[in-house]
């Protein structure tokens, strides 16, 4: 039986173990928030933002962020057609309406021009997603948002460590969110965080995340609140893991870049497109992604079968969200509908070896040669 190669898994060292051991042995009573506060401080410092609010998931952080940014029932929220479902679900929790917009062929991120075409008087917000580490065209998108008075949320769950004109992905718009699920670039098991430079947004999100409790309400009393809220809190144990991981973030991101470059070199003779890195951007390459040229007629389901036999976990490029049964399809989003079936993600966990990458690419080349 050959060694299994998962798509992703965390890098856990003695440092992570010692922090979590300390939290579980000592992080109680008056110390029960210490790692949470330290993690929020360290993360905000890394991002270069004024505020960070740790949460139990990125999905929860998106829900809080949309509410704190003022998205209400019946508002329209623009969102790229290609993303993980978690970017869209919180729009539905609020009773607002997701409007799926096509992506660009080169970045697989929101197309600014097509975005502008769907703006209506009901449009309230834009969620941009930096897919697989790739950067959205933030300069153009922020200019459009300003023109139409819209708020912008960056879903940077897949782009921790990516940079755009010297700024960290997630720190550019009105608010940004990240995920620390075990498959992401850094992990807290499950977890997420909301970052913002806007103090009002931060305060609102914090109150919403604490059952609506507001210490600054003039009528504030113990267990009394004006509005109901939610609870998407991160635990101190998870935050301890997060503190260790964020202290290793340069190492974790550098390894992602190294792994991507192995694939790039190994795939140089295959007619395909990989995650781009344009001038003034740095891609942290969460998932090395391959979109094969059309004429190859790449049958990804057949390739996944072959991978399974070899213990390799390759994944499909996301489906266009509007193609899912609970949404009305928007086949007019031609780029998204054209590329998704030709796209796959390759393993990129921290301890992946160059020989593993070679093994995967050799299998891929053999598959293409026998099937194309």
Ligand X SMILES: *Cc1c(COP(=O)(O)O)cnc(C)c1O
Note the residues at the interface with ligand X (CB under 6 A).
57-59, 83-84, 86-87, 129, 155, 157-158, 179, 181, 192
Alpha-carbon span 356 to 344, nearest angstrom: 17
Q: Which of 19, 14, 34 has the alpha carbon at shortest distance from 234?
A: 34
DSSP string, 62-126: HHHHHHHTT--TT-EEEEESBS-GGGTHHHHHHT-EEEEE-B-TTTSSB-HHHHHHT--TTEEEE
Supply the minimum distance, in Å, between the C-beta of residue 153 and ligand X: 11
Q: Which is nearer to ligand X, 214 or 289 (CB)?
A: 289
- E strand or H helix that includes residue 345: strand 343-345
> Residue 324: helix, strand or coil by DSSP?
coil
Supply the minimum distance, in Å, between the C-beta of residue 53 and ligand X: 14
Q: Which is nearer to ligand X, 151 or 364 (CB)?
A: 151
Supply the minimum distance, in Å, between the C-beta of residue 359 and ligand X: 26
Distances in whole angstroms, Cα of residue 335 to Cα of each of 73, 114, 146, 278: 30, 11, 26, 20
Q: Which is nearer to ligand X, 67 or 361 (CB)?
A: 67
Q: Which is nearer to ligand X, 243 or 361 (CB)?
A: 243
Q: Which of 286, 13, 309, 316 has the alpha carbon at shortest distance from 132?
A: 286
Q: Which is nearer to ligand X, 130 or 213 (CB)?
A: 130
Supply the minimum distance, in Å, between the C-beta of residue 86 and ligand X: 4
Supply the minimum distance, in Å, between the C-beta of residue 295 and ligand X: 30
Say which residues have a Cβ less than 8 Å from residue 269's Cβ, sequence separation at least 6.
none
Look up residue 212 and give its DSSP letter: T
Q: Which is nearer to ligand X, 83 or 123 (CB)?
A: 83
Supply the minimum distance, in Å, between the C-beta of residue 30 and ligand X: 29
CB 197 within 8 A of CB 203: no
Q: Which is nearer to ligand X, 183 or 214 (CB)?
A: 183
Supply the minimum distance, in Å, between the C-beta of residue 181 and ligand X: 4
Q: Which is nearer to ligand X, 84 or 319 (CB)?
A: 84
Backbone angles phi, psi at 233, to 5 degrees: -90, 150
Q: Which is nearer to ligand X, 109 or 201 (CB)?
A: 109
Place of tokens 């608010």: 175
Supply the minimum distance, in Å, between the C-beta of residue 61 and ligand X: 8
Q: Which of 94, 27, 37 has the alpha carbon at shortest distance from 64?
A: 94
CB 193 within 8 A of CB 178: yes
Supply the minimum distance, in Å, between the C-beta of residue 129 and ligand X: 5
Say which residues have a Cβ less than 8 Å from residue 89's Cβ, sequence separation at least 6.
59, 62
């Amino acid at each position: 039986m050959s060694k299994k190669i998962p798509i992703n898994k965390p890098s856990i060292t003695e440092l992570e173990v010692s922090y979590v051991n300390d939290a579980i042995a000592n992080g109680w009573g008056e110390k029960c928030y210490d790692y949470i506060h330290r993690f929020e401080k360290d993360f905000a410092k890394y991002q270069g933002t004024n505020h960070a609010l740790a949460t139990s998931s990125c999905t929860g952080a998106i829900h809080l962020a949309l509410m704190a940014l003022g998205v209400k029932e019946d508002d329209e929220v623009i969102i790229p057609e290609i993303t993980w479902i978690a970017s869209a679900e919180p729009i539905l929790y609020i009773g607002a309406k997701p409007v799926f917009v096509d992506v660009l062929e080169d970045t697989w991120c929101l197309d600014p021009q097509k975005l502008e075409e769907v703006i209506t008087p009901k449009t309230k917000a834009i969620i941009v997603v930096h897919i697989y580490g790739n950067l959205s065209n933030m300069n153009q998108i922020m200019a459009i948002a300003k023109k139409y008075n819209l708020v912008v949320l960056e879903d940077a769950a897949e782009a921790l460590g990516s940079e755009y004109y010297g700024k960290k992905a997630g720190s550019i718009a009105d608010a940004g969110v990240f995920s620390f699920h075990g498959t992401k670039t850094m992990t807290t098991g499950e977890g997420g965080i909301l970052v913002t430079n806007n103090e009002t947004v931060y305060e609102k999100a914090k109150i919403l995340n604490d059952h609506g409790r507001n210490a600054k309400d003039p009528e504030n009393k113990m267990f009394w609140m004006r509005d109901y809220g939610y609870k998407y809190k991160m635990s101190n144990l998870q935050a301890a893991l997060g503190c260790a991981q964020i202290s290793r973030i340069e190492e974790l991101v550098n390894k992602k870049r190294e792994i991507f470059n192995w694939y790039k070199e190994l795939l140089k003779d295959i007619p395909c497109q990989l995650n781009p890195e344009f001038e003034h951007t740095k891609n942290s390459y969460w998932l090395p992604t391959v979109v094969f040229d059309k004429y190859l007629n790449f049958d990804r389901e057949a390739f996944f079968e072959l991978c399974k036999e070899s213990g390799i976990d390759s994944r499909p490029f996301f489906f266009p969200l509007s193609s899912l049964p609970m949404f009305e399809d928007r086949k007019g989003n031609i780029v998204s509908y054209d590329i998704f079936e030709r796209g796959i993600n390759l393993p990129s966990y921290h301890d992946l070896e160059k020989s593993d990458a070679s093994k995967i690419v050799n299998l891929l080349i053999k598959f293409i040669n026998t099937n194309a």
